Structure 1
Amino acid sequence: MNANLRNKIIEAVAEIGKINVSMSAFERDLTVTSEAWLADLSEQIKQGMETLDARIMQSDLSAVIEVLIKSPPSPGINTIVGNALSMMLEMERAGQKKSPAIRRLLGPSLAQEAQQGDIRFLLLNPGTVSTRIAVYQGLEQVHRFEIHLLPDEDDSIDHRIKAVAAHLDRAGIPLGSFDGIACQGGFLKPIPSGTYRVVPEMVRDLVEAPLRSHASNMGIPMGMELARMAGSQKDLLLTTTDPFVCDELDLVDRVTGFVKIKRNGAGAHYLSHKAVWRIVASLMNQAPEHVNAVTAHLGGGTSLAAHRRGQVTMLIDAYSGLPSTSRSGAIDIDRVVKSIKSKELSIRDLEQILDSRGGLLSLVGTNDFYAMIGFLRQGATPVQRKKIELVQNFMARKIAGGMLKLTADGADVRVMAITGGLASNPDMMHRVKQNIAGRYPVVVMPGYFEHDALAAGQIRGYYAPESLKDYETERDALKKRRHDEDTLIDTPVFKREIRFKKKGAPLTTLDDIIDAAYLTVEANYAPTIAIVGASNEEAIQAAKKANEEGQFRISKFVLLGDFQEISQMAYEYDLVIDNDNYTIIDTETPVEEAVSLLDQGKVDILMKGSIHTEDLLRGVFKYLKSSGLLQKGQVMSHTAIVDIPTRNKLLAFSDGALNTYPDEQKRMAILENALKVVHNLNIKVPKVAVISAVENVNRSVDSSMEAERIAARFADRDDCIVEGPLSLDVAMDVGIAEEKHYTGRIRGNADVLILPDIDSGNILWKTLTTQSGAALAGVILCGDMPLILTSRGDSIRSKLASLSLAVKFYFDLKNQSRESS
């Protein structure tokens, strides 16, 4: 290295070292003296200050803050700035001026206009067990009340409206005296933040399809009805401000590690976040949009927000983020999956843990933080005190970690602010600050600012109506923007990966079936599937997925039915009718046409579309009989393949869709068909349970005796293990099989269930798909010919799996026939 450069570096480093030593000394002195000064101010506030003294102190604080926020940040300076801003807010709240928070939110000019005006409005904030109301005259809150619901009262919008109207009447406050009503917004469709004029479309969105069931959803319908009762609905200004569904997230923050799950901004305390961000910016004498901040709302729910360029671009929401008094927050997904598989948790348990039985309630047994603190001081044993200390540290670290996480975008964060009920606890705030460790100024703002924010929104809308946003315009524009973003997120960089399994290895998931079909097609050719009655959404979606999901198309499709209807549906789903991948055949008799094409070898597989199942099966049965393809003793039956989250292998059952009340001979034929299907899944010796209500022969239960005879008929087979009668729990649950001392080879690990009738099959089908999160594929076996049947309730993945199952089955049967000949 050049000697001159080396000397310059050494000199510069030495000078920096001297400056750092000097700065550290100044910071220590400043920290000690500022702590003493702020403590003295706090004591004076408690004892009551003269107006003049308060103004002088506020001026001094403002000057200190103005200088320090322009200084190079350091832990010491950041701590002083945060404490000074907290003290300024405390002084304003203790001062003589009414509604200091509303004044900060409105700004001096608008606050002055509102103070001189005579606007009078009602504020509505419905909660789970009460409705909080307030009446404002100008900037001042002149009346407030909380109307509690009695335990035996029927909670409804009408009941709450009557309770509010009755209270106002008793208080001598006529509905007709209001200029407006400010309503808590609830879970509308996602919209950007701001104040919105209340419109009927909001009620439709809240009633027909709210994003989440929540008491706040009653606010807007209540406001509209109270305005109607006032007799001047057109004259009253109804507003809602920053509802829970504001969505301003950056695109990058919408992405998750799984492409099918995308985030939005819904589910946070936006009234609180936006209010404290604006108030802190005002205390710093800065325009809010110039202040990058992180805010935390710590109440019954906990949410964190990152403010950039005036928008909340990153978020930790109140439902899937941090633990709170009764919500668990995010839990390690691997441990959740293992708990569900081991049956320690159900999906319902998980929902309750995330929403109402987690967090503080789960950890210490109460959802009241201050009850825990009170118990800590009086009555707790040494071990309990240690546990409470652990929980406090856990929550503080999670809060601080979440706030720091929201600085990961590299923005110049100027300040952090904490509000909500938990902000009133000095010990907890000290723990949080310790974890943030002076990286940023932390302003503590105890209490809640939702009513101030709702009131400020109403006042701004009244005096500056041009600031009001239109709900439908903003909702629809955001929806379109998110749709465009979703298209980008969904764009594949590489085509769908096909997972190769060892040849002959059992297929254990629906994805395995889909992958096996692709590999089978690659080794042979793309078969042609005729969709019989193709003006059908389910069939068209499955066809589209089959040609877009993987590295190549899985099949070609002939679309049979009314040309115009099919063309319209193809247009809606972006299907290109190119007479190669997709061909339309205009016909009024799609079944007859499909059978004719099958007979001519122009199509390989039939798939049910919009026609009735029995019409298709009747046509196919007639064709199979006349062509000799349905041998004596063979039946047509449906076999369902189920991918259950708690199992590590697939389950087949039959028949839940086709044969209603089969006799013994037909049930044996159904079993043979099911064996063909599971053998095709490379399950060499499937365990088949012939299901009854009991696992022992009972002469009063016909299905148990029939099951015993069926099992006996298959006893000598070496390609399957068939046992019966078995109850469903013994067939499916290892623990119950052991508990009941079942001695057969199928002890909770069945591969196939043969059900007694369509009632039990259909109930099992619906139960698995609607209650257990299972995904299902199915195929109808017509002799040795597969037929595809999809259901409206099937997911896209299930539809593709059904199609894939039939395609793989078609080639395997064809190759077996070629080998045998």
Structure 2
Amino acid sequence: MKILVINPGSTSTKIAVYQDEDCILSKNIEYASEEINKYPSTMMQLQMRKDSIIQTLNVEGHELGSFKAIVGRGGMLPKVKSGAYLVNETMIRRLKENPMYEHASNLGAVIAGEIAELINVDAYIYDSVRVDEMNEVARISGMPDIERTSTCHALNSRAMAIKTAKKVENRYGELNFIVAHLGGGISISVHEKGHIVDIIADDEGPFSPERCGKLPCKNLIDLCYSGQFDEKTMHKKLRGQGGLVAYLGTNDAREVEKMIAAGNEYAKIIYEAMAYQIAKGIGELSTVVKGKVDYIIITGGIAYSDMLTTWIKERVEFIAPVEIIPGEYEMEALAFGTLRVLRNEETAREYTE
């Protein structure tokens, strides 16, 4: 069965064609900044992006009529369950008219739906960025004004847990996992018998290459009202200019390891501190399932770092076996999830409000 996968980013659209489990085409369609900037909103890029996808498929020799299904990256919907949803008019209307946030991923379902309509097949989203299956007790923050919500790398994290379960000849829904996704931002999630029941988001846990993570609240409030920085600058200090960037001037873990190899002790302390905080987060989430963790998974781009993953593993392997799965597998996750629906191994939900 042939599946078209669509994953819009801020200045590009990744597409892939899968024939069952085999990826037979992978393309990153990039757009010039002047092309993107002429649209007042992300959703207004819809026709341009859709045309570029169809044109690319034509050039690569893939007729639209050859696809069994289309899957797009799920956008900023209200809370949804994990797994597959059929793209319907209610979902498209919400993403077009009233998404939770403006984000390129909002285009995924809409483009998938429009292309699917052209060839009379179903369109899906899978493991939207808004997957939220947290327990009610996990939503309590300590301040009634703020409710904790699930914001993590759900797509790749669930895919790696499913992959690990298959590797050990078991089912995802029968095991407990803790998954640490290490990228520009770091999120950690605990999966209890097939559901992400709690998370540590990228602003409440370990610092990362670009984000500062959890901070002492009183000191942060003092800094916000110190008069040194405006609101926009403070947001940048938290996301984009925090973490490794703030301490070492780079968001590239490979550059940090070069500093360490050259004898930079300060760089070593900072890098080890990041591993230390990731391990603390894993330990924290192990309490959610009362220590009954079957596997710990470390994934994402920085999981290629043997130095970092060794430091983490040394601190957490007493909890459960540790699986290192470097990289991101979003396109594969979207395709494989859709394939399970087509094979009746999973059932797609109907989106309602």
Regarding TM over 0.5, the answer is yes
Aligned counterparts of 1:343 and 1:358: Cα–Cα separation in 2: 19
| Deviation, structure 1 residue 157 | 2.6
Shift of 1:131: 1.3
| Amino acid across the alignment from 1:138 | D
SS in 1 for 2:338: helix
Following the alignment from structure 2 to structure 1, what is the Cα–Cα distance between the partners of residues 78 and 295?
A: 30
Contact in 1 for aligned 2:5/2:334 (Cα 8 Å): yes
Q: For residue 182 of structure 2, what is the aligned residue in structure 1?
A: 298
- Given candidates 283, 288, 295, the residue that maps to 1:404 is 283
| Percent pairwise identity | 30
| Corresponding position: 1:127 with 2:9 | yes
Quote the Cα distance in structure 1 between the aligned partners of 2:149 and 2:167: 31
Query: Is 1:453–2:345 an aligned residue pair?
Result: no
Task: Give 1:347 deviation, angstroms.
Answer: 2.7
Cα distance in 1 between the residues matched to 2:323 and 2:329: 14
AA of the residue aligned to 2:266: K
Q: State which of 147, 150, 169 in structure 1 corresponds to 2:32.
A: 150
Deviation by residue 1:412-435 (Cα, 9 ceiling, x = unmatched): 112101111111111111111122
Preserved CA contact (<8 Å) 2:205 2:278:
no
Residue in 2 aligned with 1:331?
215
The structure with higher relative contact order (CA 8 Å, sep 6+) is: 2
AA partner of residue 261 (structure 1): I
Q: Is the alpha carbon distance of 1:215 and 1:361 closer, same or farther for their aligned partners in structure 2, counting shifts above 3 Å?
A: farther
**Which letter maps to 1:131?**
T
Cα distance, 1:301 vs structure 2: 2.1
2:314 is equivalent to residue 429 of structure 1: no
Q: What is the CA distance between 1:355 and its match in structure 2?
A: 2.6
Residue aligning to 1:244: 129
2:205 and 2:277 in contact (8 A); partners too: no
- Contact 1:189 / 1:205 at 8 angstroms: preserved in 2? no
Structure 1 pair 174–153 and aligned structure 2 pair: CA distance change class (3 A)? same
Match of 1:163?
A: 52
Task: Using the TM superposition, give the Cα deviation of residue 337 of structure 1 relative to its aligned residue in structure 2, in angstroms.
Answer: 0.8
What amino acid is aligned across from residue 251 of structure 2 in structure 1? N
1:401 to 1:204, Cα distance in 2 relative to 1, 3 A: same
Taking structure 1 as reference, are residues 282 and 239 closer, same or farther at Cα in structure 2, changes over 3 Å only? same
Separation of aligned partners in 1, 2:318 and 2:345 = 42
Does structure 2 retain, via aligned residues, the 8 Å contact 1:320–1:354?
no
Query: What corresponds to 1:521 in structure 2?
Result: none
Aligned pair in 2 of structure 1 residues 205, 371: CA closer, same or farther (>3 Å)? farther
Match of 1:443 among 286, 306, 323: 323
Aligned residues of 2:259 and 2:267 also touching (Cα < 8 A): no
Q: Which residue of 2 aligns with 1:206?
A: 95
396 and 137 in structure 1: CA distance in 2 versus 1, 3 angstrom threshold: same
Distance 1:303 1:253, change over 3 A: same
Residue 350 of structure 1 and its aligned partner are, at CA, apart by 2.5
The Cα offsets for residues 60-113 of structure 1, whole Å up to 9 and x where unpaired, read as xxxxxxxxxxxxxxxxxxxxxxxxxxxxxxxxxxxxxxxxxxxxxxxxxxxxxx
Larger-gyration structure (1/2): 1
| Residue 356, structure 1, aligned to residue 245, structure 2 | no
- Tell me what 1:257 maps to: 142
Q: Which one-letter code corresponds to 2:270 in the other structure?
A: V
Judged with a 3 Å threshold, the aligned counterparts in structure 2 of structure 1 residues 466 and 433 are, in CA distance, closer, same or farther, namely closer
Matches within 5 A, 1:466-505: 467-472=347-352, 476=353
Task: Label 1:178 to 1:279 Cα distance change in 2 as closer, same or farther (>3 A).
Answer: same
Which deviations, in whole Å up to 9, do the C-alpha atoms of 1:638-659 show, x marking residues without a partner?
Answer: xxxxxxxxxxxxxxxxxxxxxx
User: 1:387-398 to 2 correspondence within 5 Å?
Assistant: 387-398=266-277
Which residue number in structure 1 is paired with residue 227 of structure 2? Answer: 343
1:124–1:223 CA contact under 8 A, matched in 2: yes
Cα distance in structure 1, aligned partners of 2:21 and 2:83: 19
Amino acid at match of 1:408: T
Cα contact 2:293–2:319 (8 A) shared by 1: no
* SS class of match (1:172): coil
Distance across 1 between alignment mates of 2:54 and 2:317:
50
Deviation at 1:467, TM superposition (A): 0.7
Q: Does 1:275 align with 2:164?
A: no
* Residue 195 of structure 2 corresponds to residue 316 of structure 1: no
Q: 3-state SS of the aligned residue for 1:133?
A: strand
Q: Residue by residue, what CA displacement relative to the aligned partner does 1:748-774 show, whole Å, maximum 9, x if unpaired?
A: xxxxxxxxxxxxxxxxxxxxxxxxxxx
Aligned residues: 345
Question: What is the one-letter code of the residue matched to 1:197?
Answer: L
What are the Cα deviations for residues 97-145 of structure 1, in whole angstroms up to 9, with x where unaligned?
xxxxxxxxxxxxxxxxxxxxxx112111112332111111122111111
- SS at 1:406 equivalent: helix
Q: CA deviation at 1:375?
A: 4.9
**SS of residue matched to 1:202:** helix
Between the aligned partners of 1:270 and 1:249, the Cα distance in structure 2 is 12
SS at match of 2:33: coil
Superposed displacement of residue 220, structure 1: 1.1
Change (3 A) 1:468 1:172: same
What is the alpha-carbon distance in structure 2 between the residues aligned to residue 167 and residue 287 of structure 1? 37
Distance 1:376 1:293 in 2: 32
Contact map agreement 1:396 1:435 (CA 8 A) in 2: no
What is the 5 A alignment of 1:558-707? none
| TM-score, length basis structure 1 | 0.41
Does the 8 Å CA contact 1:240/1:457 hold for their aligned counterparts?
no
In 1: Cα distance, 2:293 partner to 2:346 partner:
31
Equivalents in 1 of 2:102, 2:273: separation in Å? 29
- Residue 167 of structure 1: how far off its partner (Å): 1.4
State the alpha-carbon separation in 2 of the partners of residues 450 and 391 from structure 1.
29
Q: 1:153 to 1:202 in 2, by over 3 A?
A: same
1:173–1:374 Cα change, 3 Å: farther
Indicate if the aligned counterparts of 2:2 and 2:19 stay in contact, CA closer than 8 A.
yes
3-state SS, counterpart of residue 272 of structure 1: helix
CA contact (8 A) 1:123 1:455 kept: yes
2:152/2:187 contact within 8 Å kept? yes
Deviation for aligned residue 1:362: 1.8
Alpha carbons of 1:300 and 1:159: their partners in 2 closer, same or farther (altered >3 Å)? farther
Provide the C-alpha distance between the structure 2 equivalents of 1:358 and 1:290, rounded to a whole number of angstroms: 38
Distance 1:405 1:362, change over 3 A: same
Q: CA deviation at 1:210?
A: 2.3
The Cα of 1:173 is off from its aligned counterpart by: 1.6
Moved more, 355-364 or 149-158: 149-158
State the match for 1:178 in structure 2: 67
Q: 1:372 aligns with which of 256, 259, 263?
A: 256
One-letter identity of the residue aligned with 1:362 = A
Report the Cα distance in structure 1 between the residues aligned to 2:283 and 2:252, rounded to whole angstroms: 26
Partner amino acid, structure 2, of 1:151: S
The aligned counterpart of 2:76 is: 187
1:254 deviation in Å? 0.4
Q: CA deviation at 1:466?
A: 6.9
Once residues 212 and 367 of structure 1 are traced to their aligned partners in structure 2, the CA distance between those partners, rounded to angstroms, is 26
Q: What is the rounded CA distance, in whole Å, between the counterparts of 2:91 and 2:247 in structure 1?
A: 39
Secondary structure, aligned partner of 1:215: coil
Which of 330, 342, 345 is the equivalent residue of 1:462?
A: 342
Whole-Å separation in 2 of the counterparts to 1:287 and 1:417: 16
- Is contact 1:417-1:444 (8 Å) kept? yes
Give the aligned partner of residue 42 of structure 2: none
The structural deviation recorded for 1:374 is: 3.9
Distance 2:99 2:205 in 1: 21
Higher strand residue share: 2
Corresponding residue number in structure 2 for 1:419: 299
1:327-348 Cα shifts (integer Å, max 9, x gaps)? 2222211111111222233332
